[in-house]
Structure 1
């Protein structure tokens, strides 16, 4: 006994987190003399009085307190079942796999060291169960069960559940006979109770197996037998008719438009009557709110070639059914030539030239079917010229055309963008002349570290046409032999030399200085480890408005084995600190055994002062399904927190409650008198727990557009009406039941650009009374608004405001669109990746540092006051509290009207201006800065055209805010409406769909970025697992259709679902899917980003999704490879390599087509690549590719001959 006491005292009981291996767990007091070896407990070890042990040579005893999250991994796989085990190491040095899942280096591991998933199959190779061994937060098995009808269809998809019994990966025989149902009947804390934990699919009784009705989890979303009254998504398949449009209840009349290609590549639109009856395939979609008739339905019309030629939606204005038709018109080569928006009234007659130019989309192509000219509503014509490799070299928007200026992009031999800039052409050149000039010289440029021949030292030999007049951006790849790279940014040790193919450095111009003889350029330098992870980066900033090598930030990042960021160290240098960091910010992140983020820590140090407290910004608890249950905010002792936020969900994963002592919110969907079943919010209550005294009741039209927000406080917005494409035409606003705004909107004939807003009240609260006029420039940007006293706005190349006359406001941006500074009179604000300075042009100090949960404000020379934002479901800041006094102090309260105007604000500290959607309010303008454009919450409109309006938003106004549903949706960056701030409620399904869809399509998936996401990572892993099982099933049986994702695709956000027929899975696709799933699991993909959505600084950022990640919002393009003689399609493809906008906003494609022709087709002159369409993001691109292949298969009886994936 004395010996063991001495051992324990000497090692201080080793109370550390320890990787338990080849150990025995202690669950009761240890008595007698134990066998030599290692013993552990997750809580504590008690030694009884009669305990004794004497160590001898080769015989020792070790006692450890182990990490409670790292349970001993148990597995007992059923030998009488077909199964495959996937083992994913979470630590290194597992080299000996062994012959069984429990042998080699996999033996006696913990859940923190090894993640195992087992999938069981039936005799036909179909998945029966997927079990994530000890995958829940409490280390219980997570089970996904599958079942099939007599035709092999998955008619009932079950929600995953967590076992109550064995947690060893064994087959759960009672999964569907009681296990899953028992779990949801009496679920663990934080999980919704439901009697219907499944989604039922009703198929068409035909060999096509098309989906007729799709239910969802929950009693209210179950199909009703022999009835259309259930709250499900429904589909009807039919053909068009020739019934007159006046018969609104029955007409499916479709106008027939044709296009003539003119000699100059322009297109002429003509109407040739109507399509004959039965000439178009029609799919009718009805969402969960549909009751009867056509209101709230969508119709999609396809011709025999699979082209979507018409989309229709229906809405009631009073008792009149309004038919809203969007036509898609193609030329003889299959290129989309025109999109006719509903307000063009193309059902009735050929749109006039005015309507075409102001409301419709027009596209022109060259002889190689490359898009060369386009015109979208609100903007003038835009032009693109290509090189021989089909890479866009020149781009020009309508404003540049006035000054004969072009934006130039240059490439290296690998198709990588090496430089962008401006070329002042001096005169107007025909596109054909420019094309000839480009073709007549070298098509790519090469590295030369000694070359300094351009306006800025480039490091390239530039032989391509034309010569850049002003450089916007230079990119360097592969190495660090770069001209004029600041010596202080060079790192020679501790980084990898394996940098081939990686972006090593870049120079970016400050746009406000491009008229200077030499524009200001800012450096970014990236260093990597041997796994290609960015571990060391330098970023030069623009504090003070001048370029200085001493102004920079350096960020050092560390990762765990699965590529999750574990720490960042950001050091902020300025010219005033003479080589000593002015500021050091250290962030640390911890994860559980499944990679779910648990804690975020932050510590700030001012200069050489003592470091401030190492504070826990947030600690997250998950329910057993991986949804965020609680978030604990601010602790300095790891035990006591200032606020605990508790979340609740319904059976569909939609957020129901968010409750903290200072702010609580409750959302109602399918309850009350105005029930919403499709995800729209019917009622919102808020206040404090137990006292939700304030509420909004919301009303919508059949297009899910907000028509009324009636508040218990009397702060209403109602009487909201829209035109045919969603431009607001009227809005009434009340303050404490008093009418303060009675707005009427006026638009020019055939235009979405606002001409005037008239406020019929005498109040100047909100909109100024009287009539306010608005004007726009050739790119569709607002340039004057006399209601705000703005006489002129000058914009930069990116259509971002640079100078605002009447407000003495000036903005500075770099060529990537990052805002560097703002000047209002003499008051200046500098923005440096989350560090915000305020003062004057000559003197400023740090105002605050943005954190994942709010901001940190300087308190004194060495300490900071952490301020936290409690948000609602949209991410709106509602209550701010600080911790500077040691207690929780409420410092700001904000409420909003439905479209985002502030109702009232109570401020007890420097005001937090990051308010609605966590975007910065420009107080002097009354506008919110979303990044890509500004938003006016008073009139509910953007100030500029939507940069991604072509990506599926053609039927709506390019100035409308989030499809006019601001209660449900947000816009993360001003480019496209998205899932809303309540992403926690769908992240489980989003994560599943993200990984699953990637595996079954591209296989390219980077760490998911969900903004507010706290649970997506868990879904990612389930998605990979489900996809892996599907792939194996396809290998074994040739497939049975859609047999994957337990929760299917992400929940539809307001749009009616048009359900496609299930695809026929093939053996080759099965192998591909399984491989991708394993790669996804092994790569640690699906890393969640547990943040509140607050804009964060560099030290908190994870990897940006690449263009091929399903989560990527990077613009994509679709293309086809075709036979030159017959135009027969060889294959479809998608790419996001360089699918982005240049400095003028013109779309940029990638070199993918030319790469494929030169590699896969080995330069075969009998085929060519055809650009098909631009796509908003990777998810849309993946769906587009799938649709093309399916349509081709339906027409030809097989997929294109060289199509490897996706299969139809």
Structure 2
């Protein structure tokens, strides 16, 4: 087993398995009904051959649904995740672990299978008294199944959303006016204007409202973002591109209209690899797989990637003379699916210090390095992050509704205010105090003098975690650099999209498109109208009277399809024009994917 990184066992973990010497099931594993025949019973995984094995063990109910999962991540005690389901196979309760880090969530749905509420259990672990449940968040929907209200704490505060006649978000406001935005669109559904205001900005150094107007080229790529509410050029963005979608120039103006970044992108000849954005020296170096190993702009060096092109090691310099200079060395650990489960960071103040000699020796890693931080991330069966542990102590729980809606730290609950892309703009606690706020430019870079206590909210642009030890956003399959609007590694699905640069972020339209996991900005939904027609014809029998929207190949259950020439197409209208009756199968439609975000 010394050469393997992942080992899976199916049916049962018994002494007949040739790799049984790797597995030691946790206490209670054999006490539960298993129903594991033909299913995954256990997984062992590690990121490097020198790492200690980590494990997951599974038990199922009679319908093949995961009943309990045990996680044994190296450096962390055993953690369990248990589920109860309703008759439609939807999770109605989730129990995380036992003891000090126990947490229980209850999920409620309406008759159509839409998520109505997420409740947290505040009572003793050994009981399940309904009176101990408190609402964390709940939802109201319009007849088109779009969320129109999201309440927090049972309605003491919350948010409301409005839509135009094409189902696009037109307005959002929090009930205490902490965060408000309005959107207007072009006919092809590109965002024309965006207004942002509210008390979330009261703690900024710059407290002005933002009113942006946007322009695009014929390929729907963002050309400019002009803040019409500020002084000349204040917070303005200007971009140009080559034919592959690589950015050629980016001008970023800051508070007062000063030019903060004047980037001219130079590429290695015949490639999409960025060489530099300023000066005459090369700022970016790559490995043979096209991953950035040196990033002088963000002061990152010696980056290492695994066989999946996942970042597993990096060194970072923080500070500029005469201020204090600190050096950080970080290793990342992933599970068998590529989800990050651990982050280990060492610190040094010696500019001439060598590399970390012994990563597994946290008390003496060598060359003057000392332990700065050790994080473990416990995840659910679906890969969603449930809990973060810092230096083996519980840090915070994360609460999931239709997306990550907030967190719990100690006895305090926190709730997120998000824009239409899912970026966290404000955070309030359960006493309705604004504890964090931030504004981003179009590429996700934090705006000058428009951040308040930003370090307390690690989830930022499009809800992704921003790593302080490399200044990248962790999306899952890749890391994103918001300073330059590019990925630091190539598209994992490169072979599907030869017509775009593999480092391109969401087709250069970051105001309407998102990439939920770093794998694909849904380019399989990019086509012209005739191509969409051919796609649908290939999956529809013209003789049928009704077409059900469930897992449609090529559209992945989305009602709205984005086309190069015609913008967003509402498939209900499309089918109507084609004289084909159509409706949603709302019992199986994935409401965790917001169609207006192209999730």
1:848 to 380, 391, 396: 396
Tell me, in whole angstroms, the C-alpha distance in 1 between the residues paired with 2:124 and 2:454: 22
Q: Is the 8 A contact 1:848 1:855 kept in 2?
A: no
Tell me, in whole angstroms, the C-alpha distance in 2 between the residues paired with 1:704 and 1:587: 42
Tell me, in whole angstroms, the C-alpha distance in 2 between the residues paired with 1:880 and 1:744: 36
Tell me, in whole angstroms, the C-alpha distance in 2 between the residues paired with 1:657 and 1:866: 26
Residue in structure 2 matched with residue 709 of structure 1 by the alignment = 225
Tell me, in whole angstroms, the C-alpha distance in 2 between the residues paired with 1:521 and 1:924: 25
Deviations 1:657-702 (A, max 9, x none): 1111211111101xxxxxx21111011111139x994211111000
Tell me, in whole angstroms, the C-alpha distance in 1 between the residues paired with 2:460 and 2:249: 25
Tell me, in whole angstroms, the C-alpha distance in 2 between the residues paired with 1:924 and 1:866: 26
1:599 partnered with 2:117: yes
1:511 partnered with 2:47: yes
Residue in structure 2 matched with residue 837 of structure 1 by the alignment = 389
Q: Secondary structure at the match of 2:492?
A: coil
Q: Structure 1 1058/977 Cα, relative in aligned 2: closer, same or farther at 3 Å? A: closer
Tell me, in whole angstroms, the C-alpha distance in 1 between the residues paired with 2:54 and 2:419: 38
Q: Is the 8 A contact 2:313 2:332 kept in 1?
A: no
1:628 partnered with 2:144: no
Q: Secondary structure at the match of 2:456?
A: coil
1:921 partnered with 2:466: yes
Residue in structure 2 matched with residue 244 of structure 1 by the alignment = none
Residue in structure 1 matched with residue 134 of structure 2 by the alignment = 615
Residue in structure 1 matched with residue 172 of structure 2 by the alignment = 658
Q: Structure 1 608/591 Cα, relative in aligned 2: closer, same or farther at 3 Å? A: closer
Q: Secondary structure at the match of 2:97?
A: strand
Deviations 1:986-1028 (A, max 9, x none): xxxxxxx9xx999959xxxxxxxxxxxxxxxxxxxxxx99326
Give the CA deviation at 1:837. Answer: 2.2
2:313 to 803, 806, 811: 803
Q: Is the 8 A contact 1:999 1:1027 kept in 2?
A: no
Q: Is the 8 A contact 2:113 2:588 kept in 1?
A: no
Residue in structure 1 matched with residue 267 of structure 2 by the alignment = 747
Q: Structure 1 1058/858 Cα, relative in aligned 2: closer, same or farther at 3 Å? A: closer
Tell me, in whole angstroms, the C-alpha distance in 1 between the residues paired with 2:183 and 2:521: 21
Give the CA deviation at 1:779. Answer: 0.4
2:589 to 1077, 1080, 1086: 1086
Deviations 1:940-959 (A, max 9, x none): 111111111221x2111111
Give the CA deviation at 1:790. Answer: 2.4
Give the CA deviation at 1:911. Answer: 1.2
Deviations 1:596-649 (A, max 9, x none): 2111012368999999963312111112332211110123xxxxx332211111
Q: Is the 8 A contact 2:439 2:451 kept in 1?
A: no
Tell me, in whole angstroms, the C-alpha distance in 2 between the residues paired with 1:1000 and 1:705: 33
1:965 to 498, 509, 512: 509
Tell me, in whole angstroms, the C-alpha distance in 1 between the residues paired with 2:38 and 2:490: 35
Give the CA deviation at 1:851. Answer: 1.4
Deviations 1:522-548 (A, max 9, x none): 22222112211111221222335xxxx
Residue in structure 1 matched with residue 529 of structure 2 by the alignment = none
Instruction: Give the alignment of 1:489-888 within 5 angstroms.
Output: 489-492=27-30, 495-497=33-35, 499-508=36-45, 510-512=46-48, 514=49, 516=50, 519-543=51-75, 551-571=77-97, 581-603=99-121, 614-635=133-154, 641-660=155-174, 661-669=177-185, 676-688=186-198, 693-711=209-227, 712-713=229-230, 714-736=233-255, 737-758=257-278, 773-807=283-317, 808-814=328-334, 815-819=336-340, 820-825=342-347, 826-828=371-373, 829-833=375-379, 834-839=386-391, 844-852=392-400, 853-859=404-410, 864-883=411-430, 887-888=431-432
1:897 partnered with 2:446: no
Give the CA deviation at 1:480. Answer: 4.1
Q: Secondary structure at the match of 1:582?
A: helix
Tell me, in whole angstroms, the C-alpha distance in 1 between the residues paired with 2:486 and 2:396: 30
Q: Secondary structure at the match of 1:880?
A: strand
Q: Structure 1 511/648 Cα, relative in aligned 2: closer, same or farther at 3 Å? A: same
Residue in structure 2 matched with residue 179 of structure 1 by the alignment = none
Greater share of strand? 2
Give the CA deviation at 1:830. Answer: 2.3
1:477 partnered with 2:25: no
For structure 1, which runs of at least 5 residues remain unmatched after alignment? 1-454, 456-468, 545-550, 573-580, 636-640, 670-675, 760-769, 980-992, 1002-1023, 1030-1047, 1063-1072, 1094-1110, 1114-1208
Q: Structure 1 704/536 Cα, relative in aligned 2: closer, same or farther at 3 Å? A: same
For structure 2, which runs of at least 5 residues remain unmatched after alignment? 202-207, 318-327, 348-370, 380-385, 524-532, 550-556, 572-579
Give the CA deviation at 1:562. Answer: 1.3
> TM (normalized to structure 2)?
0.76
Q: Structure 1 926/1085 Cα, relative in aligned 2: closer, same or farther at 3 Å? A: same
Deviations 1:792-819 (A, max 9, x none): 2122222222222344222232343222
Q: Secondary structure at the match of 1:963?
A: helix
Tell me, in whole angstroms, the C-alpha distance in 2 between the residues paired with 1:587 and 1:656: 32
Q: Secondary structure at the match of 1:1085?
A: coil
Q: Structure 1 945/668 Cα, relative in aligned 2: closer, same or farther at 3 Å? A: same
Q: Structure 1 778/928 Cα, relative in aligned 2: closer, same or farther at 3 Å? A: same
Tell me, in whole angstroms, the C-alpha distance in 2 between the residues paired with 1:706 and 1:613: 49
Give the CA deviation at 1:567. Answer: 0.6
Give the CA deviation at 1:912. Answer: 0.4
Tell me, in whole angstroms, the C-alpha distance in 2 between the residues paired with 1:998 and 1:871: 38
Tell me, in whole angstroms, the C-alpha distance in 2 between the residues paired with 1:722 and 1:606: 58
Q: Structure 1 646/1025 Cα, relative in aligned 2: closer, same or farther at 3 Å? A: farther
Deviations 1:1149-1201 (A, max 9, x none): xxxxxxxxxxxxxxxxxxxxxxxxxxxxxxxxxxxxxxxxxxxxxxxxxxxxx
Instruction: Give the alignment of 1:126-275 within 5 angstroms.
Output: none
Give the CA deviation at 1:725. Answer: 0.5
Q: Is the 8 A contact 2:101 2:394 kept in 1?
A: no
Deviations 1:883-923 (A, max 9, x none): 1xxx3101111101111110144435861011001111122
Tell me, in whole angstroms, the C-alpha distance in 2 between the residues paired with 1:694 and 1:564: 41
Tell me, in whole angstroms, the C-alpha distance in 2 between the residues paired with 1:849 and 1:1092: 27
Q: Secondary structure at the match of 2:413?
A: strand
Residue in structure 1 matched with residue 495 of structure 2 by the alignment = 950
Tell me, in whole angstroms, the C-alpha distance in 2 between the residues paired with 1:1026 and 1:523: 46
Tell me, in whole angstroms, the C-alpha distance in 2 between the residues paired with 1:831 and 1:1049: 31
Q: Structure 1 908/958 Cα, relative in aligned 2: closer, same or farther at 3 Å? A: closer
Q: Is the 8 A contact 1:717 1:731 kept in 2?
A: no
Deviations 1:813-838 (A, max 9, x none): 23432222231422212222231122
CA RMSD after TM alignment: 3.8
Q: Secondary structure at the match of 1:1052?
A: strand
Q: Is the 8 A contact 1:892 1:905 kept in 2?
A: no
Give the CA deviation at 1:492. Answer: 4.6
Tell me, in whole angstroms, the C-alpha distance in 2 between the residues paired with 1:889 and 1:473: 45
Q: Is the 8 A contact 1:875 1:1092 kept in 2?
A: no
Instruction: Give the alignment of 1:1060-1139 within 5 angstroms.
Output: 1084-1086=587-589, 1088-1089=591-592
Q: Is the 8 A contact 1:583 1:607 kept in 2?
A: no
Tell me, in whole angstroms, the C-alpha distance in 2 between the residues paired with 1:1089 and 1:724: 34
Q: Secondary structure at the match of 1:917?
A: helix
Deviations 1:218-261 (A, max 9, x none): xxxxxxxxxxxxxxxxxxxxxxxxxxxxxxxxxxxxxxxxxxxx
1:907 partnered with 2:452: yes
Give the CA deviation at 1:717. Answer: 4.0
